[in-house]
Amino acid sequence: MKKKLLHLTVNDEYHELYISPKKLLVEILRDELGLTGTKRGCNTGACGACTVLLDGAAVKSCSILAMQADGAKVTTVEGLADGAELTPLQQSFLDHGAFQCGFCTSGMLMSATAFLQEDRATKDIKEGIQGNICRCTGYNSILRAIKAVAEGKYKEEGR
Amino acid sequence: MKKYTVINTPVHNIDGIAKITGRAKYTFDITLPRMLHGKILRSSYPHAEILNIDTSKAERLKGVKAVLTGKDTLGLKQGIWRRFKELCDEEILARDKVRYIGEPVATVAAIDEDTAEEALDLIEVEYKPLPGVFEPLEAIKEGAPQLHEQAERNINVTRHIEWGDVDDGFQKADYVREDWFRCSSQAHVCMETHCAVADYTPEGKLTVYTSTQSHYYIKVLLAEILGLRENDVRVISRYTGGGFGSKFELDSAQFCSSLLSMKLCQPVKIVLSREEEFTATKRRTPMFYYVRSGVKKDGTFLAKEARVFTEGGAYTAMGATALYLTGFFQSFPYVWPSYRYDGYRVYTNTAPTSAMRGFGAPQATFCAETQIDLIADELGIDPIEIRRKNAMYPGYEVPGQATIQSCGLDQCLDKIDGWIKSRGELPRHRGIGIAAYGFMSGGIFNWFDTPYAFSSAVIQINIDGKVDLFVGSQDMGQGSNTTMAMICAEELGVKFEDIRLHMGDTENCPVDLGAWGSRETLMQGNAVKMAASKAKQQILEFATAKLSPNIVYDLDIKDGWIHLIARPERGLSYYDVVKEAIRGKEGQPIIARGHYTPHRKGMISPAYSFGVQAVEADVDPETGKITLKNCVTAHDCGQVINPLGVKGQLEGAMAMAAGYGFTEDLPMDEGKILNPNLVDYMLLRATEMPETEVMEVETYEPEGPFGAKEAGEGLTNPTAGALSNAVFHATGISIKNLPITPEKVFNALKEKKKK
């Protein structure tokens, strides 16, 4: 299959890549750009481990072709912290022990980030991460971590 | 001075920042130069002879580097029960016969995953299908198809446990009750599927990166089956994306990638797909349980008899241990003056069943706790009271099996009793069910036949006071890295931040048997504490020389301050003393070692956790749907080391156990799993989680480090039973067949109405 040119801004960095048009977004992020923070747990869109932000909205990057994201802005877990400075949500995850094995954590953080930025007015926190499976924590520590940020317990310093 | 400066304080997970910034590299993330990708061809028959495998077409496909079958192996059977050769019954790459759908028959390495996948379709396997048998109660019948030559009537392992005079106990009983239960299977569903990157080099050394709960076991098992020396195999496992019991046996990704890499002298990566994870890795053991109990009118337990037939699947795996533990924990956490257990593990043409969080105990606890509520109901006794009357207590000896040292069960019952009362009158169709439980803090058994101590640790203290802690324990998410660093910091008297932890690599970490059976906190923890204590002793020798105190004074270190215990203001900085101590040791860093192996601690475990859980649930009488409202647990894990970690473990175990209780199942048709994906396999999502509350009951366990014991696994035991009791109290129906689905509840309610 003929390769196509993909224009993609990932974590504020602009890329032009020649890719096979059948490649998934998650494959480009992980295999081409080396951003392995984004995981894959099922390849069927069911587990949410591959969740990234696409122009601000949470999407499962195993469920869209990379070419569908042509020209878009993608944020992955690597794009959250500013150097050593964690986002309030990351800090809250740390304080609340909102992860165990950590394999779902990147996707969870991205869904929660989108929830806090976009959907907190209309959705319940539980609904915000309904599409993400965590087999370790039983979710409640994650919900507590997101709630603390939603309630303004973590100041959005400098960001 | 505070008793503890690190322990029981809320510290951040030692791997936390790596995990929340996406920098934690799991095996799934590893790429090596020249790396190839492997895939595995699996049997589509539950039982068949392999007549011929033609790999020639696959080999000719462009991009394919190697195609291997059982003929390319040493033809050895392997298993984790190494002391019992007849139980090492699995080849991993089948040579003559397949015994379950999903059994590996060939493996391919190619330049990318798509090519490897395509090559699998080109491999031609000629099978002669054999009749299969799928249920244990069918498989033990005379004339049933036999899976293994040596196992007549497909009986794989039997277990007998007995104490007291059971027949006499039943004679004296005022009330005898018998029930049959069916406990279903469950998939571990680790978010990181089984995977491995094997890298064999011409020097004859094999390095395997893998997602595992025990790098030591994998090293030994790989060496044995590949014909290598144990220490020519290096297993690296820095981050493991979940384990839950599924990742301490040798798996097909590890074996096939190693075999391919040895053939090609190139790195080979194999990642199992989610479907393979469901169909071709091991799972929780389904059990058919017969339980008969005899009690006095006042609820005093007299005699219990239990018989179980477990669906073993095609191979032994860890199932033999589950068979023993389910029998032992069937009596838990109560005083049964007499008890008799007979367990039969039966081979079937289904995916092998094995260890999963709780290790046979969740099945036992479901049956036992459901039956206790039925007995209490018949006799008109309160569920809390019948449990309190028969509860284990500190110092109780389970005849011939175990000695209970610390036991906070009674206090747990008090707390749950208080909580239930605080709920007042419940709305219609709502019930609260309770279940009591206990679990081991690491197993005493050594079926693996290791000549090493069960756990070891090494400490090196450097010139700046930083402590290198080398452990063999495996952190698969349960938080043992943090726990070990906390124990080390506390014992040594330094800050948590002073510890630099090294783990997950057989080349530079000492042996530990791995993260299973809730063993790390107690066993690896004791080894770490011993090493830290010995290192501290060396520092205190120098400090004593410097401080020259009256000989009657003892010294200690807390929070970096070396001081006289009786006069804490008189002391020296740890950091200063370390510098001088190292000069005094001819420039050698301070090094100490610790180890732990249980001795004379009975048959099962050196220590036991205890707890009581209450589940409050609504049952919709129209649909049978169960909605969890509250889940409250009173829990005795001895001294809490890491409060954040314990809470996370308890909530996580509860979610998994609730799934076992009412949503998760692996239905099959002639050995084929019908729901091998995350859409049809129903895990609890965030929206289904009830409110959870954990009430700690602190006890001191003399055998554990700082009095600590098991915390992560036992809580998988009570939930299914508590849930079934909640349904019973809400509706008057008792479901003895897991999972408690809406359909079963609905049908039972309909049946009840008819009567």
Q: Comparing C-alpha atoms, which of B518, B443, B455 is closest to residue B710?
A: B518
pLDDT surpasses 50 at B264: yes
Q: Closest chain A residue to B276 measured between Cα atoms?
A: A42
- Rounded CA separation B721/B549 (Å): 59
| Token code pair at residue B155 | 């009986």
Q: What is the pLDDT of residue A118?
A: 82
Nearest to B17 among A47, A94, A129 (CB): A94
User: Are A135 and B683 inside 8 Å of each other by CB?
Assistant: yes
pLDDT tens-digit series, residues B714-751: 999 999 999 999 999 999 999 999 999 999 999 999 99
Nearest to B20 among A47, A94, A103 (CB): A94
3-state class (DSSP) for residue B180: strand
Band (pLDDT 50/70/90 cuts) for residue B503 is very high
Q: For residue A38, give the amino acid letter.
A: T
User: Which burial class, exposed, middle or buried, applies to B594 when counting CB atoms under 10 A from its CB (0-12, 13-18, 19+)?
Assistant: buried
Residue B596's φ and ψ, nearest 5 degrees, are -150, 130
Q: Are B310 and B359 in contact (CB under 8 A)?
A: no
| DSSP character at residue B12 | P
- Rounded CA separation B651/B643 (Å): 12
Tell me the helix, strand and coil percentages in chain B, rounded to 5. 30, 25, 40
Q: Are B505 and B212 in contact (CB under 8 A)?
A: no
Q: Comparing C-alpha atoms, which of B111, B106, B115, B102 is closest to residue B273?
A: B102
User: Are B29 and A36 inside 8 Å of each other by CB?
Assistant: yes
Q: Comparing C-alpha atoms, which of A136, A101, A130, A96 is closest to residue B650?
A: A136
Residue B138's CB: how many other CB atoms inside 10 A?
13
CA angle B364, B367, B368 (to 5 degrees): 80
Q: Closest chain A residue to B273 measured between Cα atoms?
A: A42
Residues of A in contact with B476 (CB under 8 A): 101
Is CATH 3.10.20.30 the classification given to domain A4-79? yes
- A119 close contact with B: CB closer than 8 A: no
Residue B126's φ and ψ, nearest 5 degrees, are -100, 115
User: Mean pLDDT over all residues of chain B?
Assistant: 97
User: Are B21 and A90 inside 8 Å of each other by CB?
Assistant: yes
Residues of B in contact with A132 (CB under 8 A): 686
- Rounded CA separation B639/B613 (Å): 19
Element (H, E) at A95: helix A88-96
Residue ranges matching CATH 3.90.1170.50 in chain B: 31-130+191-242+247-280
Q: Comparing C-alpha atoms, which of A28, A68, A62 is closest to residue A46?
A: A62
- A11 close contact with B: CB closer than 8 A: no
Domain locations along chain A: 4-79, 88-150
- Rounded CA separation B524/B406 (Å): 19
- Rounded CA separation B275/B300 (Å): 48
CA angle A8, A9, A12 (to 5 degrees): 170
CATH number of B31-130+191-242+247-280: 3.90.1170.50
User: Are B191 and A138 inside 8 Å of each other by CB?
Assistant: no
- B647 close contact with A: CB closer than 8 A: yes
- Which bin fits B356, alpha (ψ -120 to 50), beta or left (φ > 0)? beta
Dihedral sign, Cα of residue B126, residue B129, residue B135, residue B140 = negative
- A147 close contact with B: CB closer than 8 A: no
User: Quick one: how far is CA B278 from the chain centroid?
Assistant: 18
- Rounded CA separation B480/B517 (Å): 13
Residues of B in contact with A110 (CB under 8 A): none
Task: Establish, for the pair of chains A and B, how many residue pairs have beta carbons separated by less than 8 Å.
Answer: 167
- A93 close contact with B: CB closer than 8 A: yes
- Read off the pLDDT of each residue in B473-487 and give the average, rounded to a whole number: 97
Lowest mean pLDDT among B606-610, B723-727, B750-754: B750-754
pLDDT surpasses 80 at A1: no
- B671 close contact with A: CB closer than 8 A: no
Q: Comparing C-alpha atoms, which of B129, B183, B167 is closest to residue B736?
A: B183
- Rounded CA separation B308/B158 (Å): 10
- Read off the pLDDT of each residue in B597-620 and give the average, rounded to a whole number: 96
At how many degrees (to 10) do helices B643-662 and B361-379 cross?
Answer: 70
pLDDT tens-digit series, residues B141-198: 999 999 999 999 999 999 999 999 999 999 999 999 999 999 999 999 999 999 999 9
- B193 close contact with A: CB closer than 8 A: yes
Band (pLDDT 50/70/90 cuts) for residue B669 is very high
- Rounded CA separation A1/A21 (Å): 8
Lowest mean pLDDT among A111-120, A130-139, B73-82, B347-356: A111-120
- Which B positions 450-479 lie with beta carbon below 8 A of chain A? 476-479
DSSP bridge partners of B386: none
Band (pLDDT 50/70/90 cuts) for residue A156 is low
Strands in B247-331 per DSSP E: 268-271, 283-284, 287-295, 301-313
- B275 close contact with A: CB closer than 8 A: no
- Which bin fits A127, alpha (ψ -120 to 50), beta or left (φ > 0)? alpha
- Rounded CA separation B672/B432 (Å): 37
Nearest to A137 among B193, B240, B648 (CB): B648
Long-range contacts, B137-143 (Cβ 8 Å, 24+) = B137/B288, B137/B309, B139/B346, B139/B347, B139/B348, B140/B309, B140/B344, B140/B346
Band (pLDDT 50/70/90 cuts) for residue A159 is very low
- B22 close contact with A: CB closer than 8 A: yes
- Rounded CA separation B543/B379 (Å): 66
Which class in CATH covers the domain with range B354-445+604-754?
A: alpha beta
- A127 close contact with B: CB closer than 8 A: yes
- Rounded CA separation A55/A75 (Å): 8
Q: For residue B693, give the amino acid letter.
A: E
- Rounded CA separation B453/B474 (Å): 16
- Rounded CA separation B640/A37 (Å): 32
Cβ neighbors of B497 (< 8 A, separation 6 or more) are none
- A142 close contact with B: CB closer than 8 A: yes
| Token code pair at residue B128 | 């002669």
Q: What is the pLDDT of residue B256?
A: 98
pLDDT tens-digit series, residues B37-56: 999 999 999 999 999 999 99
User: Are A135 and B244 inside 8 Å of each other by CB?
Assistant: yes
User: Are A44 and B678 inside 8 Å of each other by CB?
Assistant: yes
| Token code pair at residue B287 | 């059990």
Q: What is the pLDDT of residue A122?
A: 77
The structure's pTM equals 0.97
Band (pLDDT 50/70/90 cuts) for residue A158 is very low
Q: What is the pLDDT of residue B570?
A: 95
The alpha-carbon gap from A72 to the nearest alpha carbon of chain B, in Å, equals 21
Please state, in angstroms and as integers, the Cα–Cα distance from residue B481 to each residue in B475, B478, B642, following that order: 6, 9, 11
Please state, in angstroms and as integers, the Cα–Cα distance from residue A43 to each residue in A60, B238, B440, following that order: 9, 24, 37
Nearest to A104 among B22, B191, B645 (CB): B191
Band (pLDDT 50/70/90 cuts) for residue B59 is very high
User: Are B274 and A41 inside 8 Å of each other by CB?
Assistant: yes
pLDDT surpasses 60 at A157: no
| Token code pair at residue B262 | 């040895």
User: Are B192 and A143 inside 8 Å of each other by CB?
Assistant: no
User: Are B477 and A102 inside 8 Å of each other by CB?
Assistant: yes
pLDDT surpasses 80 at A51: yes
Q: What is the pLDDT of residue A123?
A: 82
| Token code pair at residue B649 | 């473990």
Q: Are A125 and A147 in contact (CB under 8 A)?
A: yes
Residues of A in contact with B615 (CB under 8 A): none
- Read off the pLDDT of each residue in B403-412 and give the average, rounded to a whole number: 98
DSSP letters along B665-703, please? Answer: ---EETTEES--STTTS-PPPGGGPPEEEEEE-----TT
Complex prediction ipTM: 0.97
Residue ranges matching CATH 3.30.365.10 in chain B: 16-23+454-596, 354-445+604-754
- A123 close contact with B: CB closer than 8 A: no
CATH number of A88-150: 1.10.150.120
Q: Report the share of chain B in percent with pLDDT over 90.
A: 98
* Residue to test with chain B: of A44, A86, A100, most B Cβ within 10 A: A100
- Which B positions 35-74 lie with beta carbon below 8 A of chain A? none
pLDDT tens-digit series, residues B433-459: 999 999 999 999 999 999 999 999 999
- Rounded CA separation B663/B315 (Å): 27
- Read off the pLDDT of each residue in B334-346 and give the average, rounded to a whole number: 98
Fold of B16-23+454-596: Aldehyde Oxidoreductase; domain 4 (3.30.365)
Cα within 13 Å of Cα(B443), Cβ side: 19
- Measured distance between the N- and C-terminal CA atoms of chain B, rounded to whole angstroms: 68
Residues of B in contact with A77 (CB under 8 A): 20-22
